[in-house]
Amino acid sequence: MAYKYLVIVESPAKAKTIEKYLGRNYKVVASVGHVRDLPKSKMGIDIENNYEPHYISIRGKGDVIKSLKQAAKKAQKVYLASDPDREGEAIAWHLAYLLGLDLKDKNRVVFNEITKDAVKAAFKEPRSIDVSLVDAQQARRALDRLVGYSISPILWRKVKKGLSAGRVQSIALKIIIDREKEIREFIPEEYWSIDGNFKKEKKKFKANFWGVDGKKKKLPNAESVKEITQRIDGKDYQVTKVEKKERRRNPAQSFTTSNMQQEAARKLNFRTRKTMMVAQQLYEGISLGKQGTVGLITYMRTDSTRISDTAKAEAAEFIENKYGKEYSQHTARKTKNPQGAQDAHEAIRPTSVNRTPDEMKQYLDKDQLKLYTLIWSRFVASQMTAAVLDTMKVTLEQNGVIFIANGSKIKFKGFMQVYVEGRDDGKEDKENILPELVEGDVVQSVNIEPKQHFTQPPARFSEATLIKTLEENGVGRPSTYAPTLDTIQRRYYVKLTQRRFEPTELGEIVNSLIVDFFPQIVDVNFTAEMENGLDKIEEGKEEWVNVVDRFYKPFAVELEKAEEGIEKIQIKDEPAGFDCDVCGHPMVIKLGRYGKFYACSNFPDCRNTKPIIKEIGVECPVCHKGQVVERKSKKNRLFYGCSRYPDCDFTSWDKPVGRSCPKCDNYLVEKKVKGGKQVVCINGDYEEAVQK
């Protein structure tokens, strides 16, 4: 079929959705991501010539480029409709170069959502390629390449082949290791609390010890608790003060990329990479039967919290109709974008609030529905009125000993009717309703419970809390978080233990070298300043070469010192305690790319290796001959398998518990669930109570 206009996008899924909107005069094809990049075999940056990048066509993309050129020749005009961010602009720029398009020509089309109206509107207002946006991406690639291709060879020579360093990944690694040092050096301190159970008439409530004789008092040890309990003589307590207040709680803003990743980790147990993969599916288009293919959410790489007036108006009408006028936010709430936010597009929201999760569930798979529900609920809540809570603080006193009870009751749910933001500590705010009390009332003490506690070390970072920390420090941007976390795990610098990052010995060695010899790379403030420099390039306020030069000159000095100063580090092999079953030489424990493994000390004459396996004390539920052992996947994820592999191919992501299901006789496994662990049947026929 003949066509007048050729439209090029990144992905086939996006191409399929858009072509249906544009009609027979348009042909939409996909570049399948980037078509040109810096070469993998060398630096590709001419430092002596103003950091000129030397781009080449990506290996394996020859057929794609050839077909794009052929299609372009047949078209009267070519439109470049890659994603609306730095990376998308760079893809458009590279395509323009390969196809011989004029950069001043208005052939660039951008849209924040893939819906018929948004796409058609975008094609009415094409623009020329934004060279400032391209330069910002070019500067980022140059900086990343200068760091990676300068430090990585040193690590290869001095430590181990296959290692790498990068601007953002090195800071992420340092943050994880600094936290680990805090944990190791932490000294627990004892402290006590006294919980009191009270009642007025038949209504019971709790209060906590506060102090004595009008002064707040800490309880560092059992002796201090004894002093207090000896003063309490079992008599009733008097209510000496009642404070009542009305507190308003505002909803969270609509999602940016980073807080979508954080919330999906908290509420859905999604890994960062999974969140972005599912979000991309929702953005690029879902088939809605007779309605055709529609993008269900706006562009998913954004650090803006802005919402368009059209979306606000649609949300207001929806909320009034579904929940009532009193739930709709009539005046715009002031919002603040995160540090360094690029406000080119909106927050992540549904493309139409009228496409409710209930209506969409027939078209979405399980993971798509979970994430869409989260995005939809968060957006709707952000456009609703504040929740109103009645709070009450009651002071109880007896013989100078003071207890305080805090209560709260929801007076008006507001946005909480739809959505409440998750918390990193896993706790949720709950109502605590106190009996109606006034000053002078007498309440009865039911019992007093002293409890010993010890201060806890800071928690290791989860994916969610690490992203939050990187964002708070101005390090990285929406598109970099998921690849950064992926890289430090693939390099085995860190491993996930109970979904928390724990540094490996290799990670600590690499971090130590970078901190000692390349302090600028892991300086959070310096890196945040670099990100600001990239933003200024994008805004046309600074030349990209100047930003790169400002970084590279001091870095080059560090590089020279490192070449001379770093001594070759020998990672010592540990004795395994048994001999090789091939040649009889002692086996040793080596550190490899995916962790530790057994190897023959007679290497290279003997290449015998074995995985290090840990038995969990459970018989294999499939063959009943082997033992269930812990294993690691290539992505460093823990799973369980049979010790008789490959003779028995039993595997499970969940830990078998060594018992059979009382209903179907299949095996039971232990799953991590919200609030603890739960033993369940693999067929879903049986489950036990959650254990904390």
600, 583 contact by CB (below 8 A): yes
How far, in Å, CA of 461 to CA of 273, rounded?
16
Distances (CA, A) of 344 to 133, 238, 515, 638: 11, 60, 35, 40
Distances (CA, A) of 176 to 170, 488, 499: 10, 11, 13
**Nearest CA-CA partner of 466 in 426, 506, 424:** 424
Q: Which residue has the tokens 């749910």?
A: 413
Q: Which long-range contacts (CB under 8 A, 24 or more apart) does 404-408 make?
A: 404/207, 404/208, 404/210, 405/198, 405/205, 405/206, 405/207, 405/208, 405/434, 406/432, 407/205, 407/432, 407/433, 407/434, 408/247, 408/432, 408/433
DSSP label at 326?
G
How far, in Å, CA of 594 to CA of 569, rounded?
19
Q: Which residues contact 102 (CB under 8 A, 6 or more apart)?
A: 96
The runs of H, that is alpha helices, within 521-592 are 524-538, 544-565
Determine how many CB atoms are found less than 10 A away from the CB of residue 574.
10
How far, in Å, CA of 114 to CA of 96, rounded?
23
Known catalytic residues are 299
DSSP 105-154: SS-B---SS-SHHHHHHHHHS-B---HHHHHHHHHHHHHHHHHHHHHHHH
How far, in Å, CA of 153 to CA of 227, rounded?
65
- Cα four-point dihedral sign 363, 366, 367, 372: positive
* SS3 sequence of 399-430: CCEEEEEEEEEEEECHHHHCCCCCCCCCCCCC
Residue 228 in tokens: 């207090």
Q: Beta partners for 589? A: 574, 598
**Nearest CA-CA partner of 136 in 620, 521, 544:** 544
The CA-to-CA distance between both ends of the chain, in Å, stands at: 63
Distances (CA, A) of 356 to 95, 253, 376, 377: 38, 19, 7, 9
